Amino acid sequence: MRKVTIQEVAEAAGVSKSTMSRYLNQNYSHMSVSTRQRIEKTVKALAYRPSRRAQSLKTKRSRLIGIMIADISNVYVSLLLKGITNYLKQYDYQTLIMESGNSVEQERQQLDQMLDQSVEGIILQPNSRLSATYQFIADAEVPLVLVDRETAPFRWDTIETDNYQATSRLSAQVHQSAEAYTVGLVVSEDVHAISTREQRLAGFINGVAPLPVQTVELDASNAAFTQKLQTLLAANEHPLVFANNGKVLAVVLKTLQALSLSVPRDVGVAGYDDWNWAGLVGPGISTVEQHPDKIGYLAGEMLMKLVQPHEKKPKPAIHTLPASVKFRQSI
């Protein structure tokens, strides 16, 4: 049962390809009712469905939108995707999802492939902080919306969390705490690679001020963190550990468990939670909860505005969404 073409249905219905095409595009204006019904029946009988490829070759509309994220196994990202598809489902668009694996080169390759597939628009969680990196997308005249992270200088619609504010509010809780912390320890992946991480670090420093703040970078292993922590404890410090994202928070908690450290007696803990599980762990971990689904939904909305032919295009802007701060017993 090979795919049937417009030619074949047309013949079966006893009309020309042009008439078929008119039917498909709902140009019923000047078509006799009888022809229309005849075509309708034939289409149903043959289970005919037009080929998008052929259509789009002609019309330049692929009905494809590209979504480029850093890591698809990330919970934040999966909720983001949920939000995007949730908005897009009312439209007749399909999503081409690719992941960059946090590599700028791979990202570029994948984006090129997206363009090759003639996507009509792109939602991007950028790996690079430079707008110039993505200029080629604008050159190809493909609408672009950034999510989660921003690039400089400002150029495209960007939807992100209010990281500075939220982190600041959460970490300021340290001043209400019965525990007397002597140092803040921010655990993060490469801080300066991504705008978001920098914003959170800055927010933390602001929130706990005048407490001194140290940072430790988390790579493949947790060795650096473990060592840093033990050094601090050996020096009789009382650290407040801050995990800069959900993945890091998981590592931090597992490390503390492995070291049999008590929270918040030995160390305080706070951080970003993507899983919504932090409330169940230990005494309840104080966290920032983002709303990636909302970010995705809004990104979908923005992109559709840019893609739809007849909408007036709004000026690009940065949209900052508030995050929820959950105060629990871990500080």
Partner DNA sequence: CTGTTAGCGCCTTCAA
Partner DNA sequence: TTGAAGGCGCTAACAG
Q: Please report, as ranges, the residues that interact with a copy of itself according to CB under 8 A.
A: 1-3, 47, 49-54, 56-57, 62-64, 71-75, 77-79, 81-82, 85, 92, 94-99, 112-118, 136, 139-141, 250, 253-254, 257, 275-277, 279-282, 293
Q: Is 192 exposed, middle or buried (0-12, 13-18, 19+ CB in 10 A)?
A: exposed
Q: What gap in Å lies between CA 156 and CA 213, rounded to an integer? A: 33
- For residue 143, the minimal CB distance to DNA (Å) is 19
Q: 258 — phi, psi (to 5°)?
A: -65, -35
Cβ contacts of residue 78 below 8 Å, gap of 6+?
Answer: 72
Note whether 36 and 67 are within 8 A (CB). no
Strands 286-289, 324-326: pairing is: antiparallel
Q: Which residues pair with 124 in a beta bridge?
A: 68, 146
Extract the tokens encoding 78.
Answer: 């999966």
- For residue 186, the minimal CB distance to a copy of itself (Å) is 21
- For residue 39, the minimal CB distance to a copy of itself (Å) is 18
- Give me the 245-284 binding string for DNA, x by CB under 7 A, dash otherwise: ----------------------------------------
- For residue 53, the minimal CB distance to a copy of itself (Å) is 5
User: Out of a copy of itself, DNA, none, which partner does residue 78 contact, by CB within 5 to 8 A per kind?
Assistant: a copy of itself
Check residue 32 for interaction with DNA (CB under 7 A): yes
Q: Cis omega (within 30 of 0) on the bond before 322? A: no
Nearest to 322 by CA among 284, 285, 287, 294: 294
- For residue 272, the minimal CB distance to a copy of itself (Å) is 15
Q: Cis omega (within 30 of 0) on the bond before 314? A: no
- For residue 182, the minimal CB distance to a copy of itself (Å) is 26
Q: First and final CA of the chain: distance in angstroms?
A: 65
- CB nearer to DNA: give 24 or 209: 24
Check residue 15 for interaction with DNA (CB under 7 A): yes
- For residue 269, the minimal CB distance to a copy of itself (Å) is 11
Note whether 285 and 240 are within 8 A (CB). no
- CB nearer to a copy of itself: give 203 or 296: 296
Angle at 15 between CA 9 and CA 16, to 5 degrees: 90
- The count of C-alpha atoms lying within 13 angstroms of the C-alpha of 305, restricted to the half-sphere facing its C-beta, is 13
User: Out of DNA, a copy of itself, none, which partner does residue 128 contact, by CB within 5 to 8 A per kind?
Assistant: none
For residue 96, the Cα-to-chain-centroid distance in whole angstroms is 14
Check residue 308 for interaction with DNA (CB under 7 A): no
> Which one of the spans 14-22, 95-103, 203-211, 234-242 is the region binding DNA (CB under 7 A)?
14-22
- Give the residue, chosen from 1, 26, 30, 180, that forms a contact with DNA under the rule CB under 7 A: 30
Q: 127 — phi, psi (to 5°)?
A: -90, -25
> Which one of the spans 4-12, 187-195, 268-276, 289-297 is the region binding DNA (CB under 7 A)?
4-12
Q: Which of residues 37-96 bind DNA (CB under 7 A)?
A: 50-51, 54-55, 57-59
Check residue 29 for interaction with DNA (CB under 7 A): yes
Binding residues vs DNA (CB under 7 A): 3, 5-7, 14-22, 24-25, 29-32, 34-36, 50-51, 54-55, 57-59
